[in-house]
Amino acid sequence: MTVADTTITVPDIGGAEGAEVVEVLVAVGDHIELEQSLIVLESDKASMEIPATAAGVVTELRVAVGDQLSEGDVILQVQSDGAGSDASMPTAEPALGTAAADAATAVDATAAEPAAVEPSAAEVMTVTIPDIGTDGEVDLIELSVVVGQSVAEGDSLVVLESDKASMEVPAPASGTIQALLVSAGAMVREGTPILEMLVSKTATAASPSEPVAAAIPEAPAAAPTPAAGPESASTERPVAPVASVSSVSAAPNSEEDSVYAGPAVRKLAREFGVALTQVPGSGPRGRILKEDLQQFVANALAKPVASTGGGSGIPEVPDVDFSKFGSIDPQPRSRLDKITAANMTRAWLNVPHVTQFDDADITDLETFRKSLKAEAERKGTKMTPMPFILKACAVALNAHPKLKASLADGGETLVYKHYCHIGMAVDTPAGLMVPVIRDVDKKSIWEIGAEVLELAAAAKDKKLRPDQMQGGVFTVSSLGGIGGRGFTPIVNAPEVAILGVSRADVKPVWDGGGFVPRTLLPLSLSYDHRVINGGDAGRFLSDLREMLTDIRRLIL
Ligand code: CAO
C-alpha cells in the first residue's frame, strides 16, 4: 500500500463562485473512504455534498462552516492509504476530453452543467432505460434528479409508470448528472437514453505508473446484468433491470423533493421507508443529517405505544385541548402507569382474546371461610375468598396444563411448565402490580392467605422485589372486594389465561323444587385463543367452579 499526502480540492461545481460551506462532515484524524461526503456547499441554486477523491486519514482541514469556496479551493489534506486519487496530482489527468467529446453528440452543450466529480478521474456514461418487462412505451412521469446533482449508485433517476406499476430506474453507478436527455411526460421504452452522468473512471483508465490513482475502484453495477462486462463502464453500460433493484415502488412525492437533505440521506430514508418530511433536520438551515434519520428511526422503534393508541399501523387518537371545554389539571403519569399501559396495549394487540363467564356457588365455602374468622384473628391473619380461589386455580391448572403454558419461537413451540406460580393483580395508589405466589399447588390455604396479605402489603408499600413479580404461569384479578358483576380481564402475556373474579352475591337459585338463596361468585376467564380453545377453557372453568362449590374436591 502506498501512503502519500493528498490534497482534496473543490471540484468543478457548475461555475458557482463562492458557494458557502454549510456543513463540515469530517474532522482531523477521521479515516475517510473514497466518495465519502466531506463538506456540504450551498450556492444560490443548490446544495452539494463534495465527495472524497481519496481515502485515508484527514491530517489537515482547511475549511470551516461559513467559508465561501470556488473550484480549486483546498478542502483538506489526507494521508492517503492508496485507495483513492490525488485530486491535485497532474499525473491523474484522465481521458475526459475523449469521453466528453464522445458524449457531446448526445448532449446539449448548453444543458450540460459541470459535474461535482473530480474531472481527472471521471468519464461520461449514457444511462438508458433498462429492460422493463415490456416492449411497448411507458410514461416517464418524473425526473428524480437535476443536472449537477451527485447521485449514489442505486439512487432513483427517473420514475416510470405503466398501466400496471410505477418503477424507479436506479443509477447504475455513483456520479454526477451531466445532462438530462428526456423530460417528464416523455414516452420511453427499453434502450431510450435518459441522461448522461459523469462517473468515476475505472482503475484501468488511471496511469499504471501511479498506484494511488490506479487504486480507484470501479463502481459496481447495481445488479448483475448479462450484458455487463468488466469494462462496461462506458456509454453502452446497461442499467440494472428495474424489477431486480427497486421493483414496484411508490413514486417520490414533490413534498419530499423540497426537503433539505443530501442524496445519501434520501437513499437511506427510502430504504427505511421513512418520509423525510417527518424528520426534523439538525444540520445548518434545517438540513437533515444521517444522524437525524437514525435518531428518528430509533425513536420510532423505542416509542412505547401511547396510552391513547398508536403502533401497529393503528391510527392514533388525536390529542384534544380539553382546556377549551373547562378547567383542567394535567398530571404526569407515573412510570408504573406508563409501563402498565404499554404492557396492556401489547397484550391486547398481540393476543386474540376470548372471555368466558360462569358463576361458582360458594355458599358452603363462605360458611366454612367465615367459621375460620376467629382462628384467622388468632393467627394474626385474615381469610378472604382469595386464597381458596388461588388454590382452586392451582389444582385446575395442574389438571389442565395448557392453561399455564406459553407460546415461544414466534408461535412454533408451546412451553409447558411443571411449576405453578400464580400472579395476583394488586391495585395500589402507584398503579397496578402483579406479585407472584410461588408453588401455590404445594401450599396450604393458610400459607397462601398469609402470602396474599404479605405481597399485597408489599405492593402497596412499593416494597416488592422484581423477583417477586416474575415467573407467573397464570393470573388472578379479583375485584371482589370492590364490586361489579363481571369484567373481561386482559391476558398477562406471555401467560395464556387470566381469571377475573367479581363480587359474590346472594341470589335465588332454582334447586329443582324451588328457589333457594345461594352465594354466587362471578368468574370470567380470558384466554389466548391461539393456544386455548373454547373446549379447553370450558373444561377448566367447570372444574374450577366445582372445586369452589365443594372445596373438598381440592384434596382429591
Ligand atoms: N366477593 C365478595 N366479597 C369479597 C370478594 C368477593 N369475590 N373478594 C373479597 N371480598 C371481601 C373480603 O372478604 C373482604 O371482606 P372482609 O374484610 O369482610 O372479609 C373485602 O372484600 C376486602 O377484601 P380484599 O380486597 O382486601 O382482599 P382480597 O384477598 O379479596 O384481595 C387483593 C386482595 C390484593 C387482590 C385486593 O386487595 C386487590 O388489590 N384487588 C384489586 C385487584 C385489581 O385491581 N384487579 C384489576 C386488575 S385489571 O385492571
Q: Which of 353, 400, 421, 529 is catalytic?
A: 529
Architecture of the structural domain at 255-302: Irregular (4.10)
325 DSSP assignment: T
Choose the residue to mutate in 340, 372, 384 for probing ligand 1, maximizing ligand atoms within 8 Å of C-beta: 384
Whether the CB of 61 sits within 6 Å of ligand 1:
no
Tell me the per-residue pLDDT of 487-516, one tens digit each, with 9 for 90 and over: 999 999 999 999 999 999 999 999 999 999
Q: Quote the pLDDT of residue 361.
A: 98
What is the pTM (predicted TM-score) of this model? 0.53
- Chain-centroid distance of CA 165 in Å reads 27
Q: How far is the CA of 352 from the centre of ligand 1 (A)?
A: 28
- When pLDDT is cut at 50, 70 and 90, the band that residue 158 belongs to is confident
For residue 361, what is its C-alpha cell?
Answer: 356457588
Whether the CB of 492 sits within 6 Å of ligand 1:
no
Q: CB atoms < 10 A from the CB of 251, how many?
A: 17
Among the atoms of ligand 1, which is closest to the Cα of residue 383? 19
What does the alpha-carbon distance between residue 300 and residue 297 come to, in Å, rounded to a whole number? 5
Tell me the per-residue pLDDT of 171-210, one tens digit each, with 9 for 90 and over: 898 888 888 998 888 899 989 999 999 887 653 333 333 3
Whether the CB of 426 sits within 6 Å of ligand 1:
yes
- In this structure, are residues 157 and 208 in contact, taking their beta carbons and an 8 Å threshold? no
Residue 426 phi/psi, 5-degree rounding, is: -125, 125
Tell me the per-residue pLDDT of 94-152, one tens digit each, with 9 for 90 and over: 332 333 333 333 333 333 333 344 445 678 899 999 888 777 888 888 888 888 888 88
CA distances from 443 to 33, 366, 390, 439, 448 (A): 67, 20, 10, 7, 6
Residue type, 83: A
Q: Quote the pLDDT of residue 136.
A: 83
Q: How far is the CA of 454 from the centre of ligand 1 (A)?
A: 14
Identical fold at 116-205 and 255-302? no
Q: Quote the pLDDT of residue 131.
A: 83
Q: How far is the CA of 457 from the centre of ligand 1 (A)?
A: 13
116: left (phi over 0), alpha (psi -120 to 50) or beta: alpha
Average pLDDT of the segment spanning 248-264? 55
> Over the Cα atoms of the chain, what is R_g?
36
Q: Quote the pLDDT of residue 90.
A: 33
The answer to whether residue 242 scores a pLDDT higher than 60 is: no
- When pLDDT is cut at 50, 70 and 90, the band that residue 312 belongs to is low
Average pLDDT of the segment spanning 3-10? 84
Whether the CB of 477 sits within 6 Å of ligand 1:
yes
Give strand pairing partners of 48. 41
Q: Where are the domains of the chain?
A: 3-98+220-244, 116-205, 255-302, 352-555
- Chain-centroid distance of CA 369 in Å reads 53
Whether the CB of 424 sits within 6 Å of ligand 1:
yes
Hey, whose CA ends up nearest to atom 6 of ligand 1?
Answer: 480
Q: What does CATH list as the number for 352-555? A: 3.30.559.10
Domain 116-205: state its class: mainly beta
Hey, whose CA ends up nearest to atom 7 of ligand 1?
Answer: 480
Whether the CB of 189 sits within 6 Å of ligand 1:
no
* DSSP letter string, 389-432: HHHHHHHHHHHSGGGG-EEEGGGTEEE--S---EEE-EEETTEE
Architecture of the structural domain at 3-98+220-244: Beta Barrel (2.40)
Q: How far is the CA of 455 from the centre of ligand 1 (A)?
A: 13
- In this structure, are residues 361 and 519 in contact, taking their beta carbons and an 8 Å threshold? yes
Q: How far is the CA of 501 from the centre of ligand 1 (A)?
A: 9
- Chain-centroid distance of CA 464 in Å reads 33
Through-space distance between the first and last CA atoms of the chain, rounded to whole angstroms: 82
Whether the CB of 491 sits within 6 Å of ligand 1:
no
Hey, whose CA ends up nearest to atom 32 of ligand 1?
Answer: 426
Active site residue 31: no
Whether the CB of 452 sits within 6 Å of ligand 1:
yes
Q: How far is the CA of 477 from the centre of ligand 1 (A)?
A: 9
> Of the ranges 79-93, 146-160, 263-277, 508-522, which one carries the lowest mean pLDDT score?
79-93
Q: How far is the CA of 522 from the centre of ligand 1 (A)?
A: 13
Among the atoms of ligand 1, which is closest to the Cα of residue 456? 34
What does the alpha-carbon distance between residue 60 and residue 62 come to, in Å, rounded to a whole number? 6
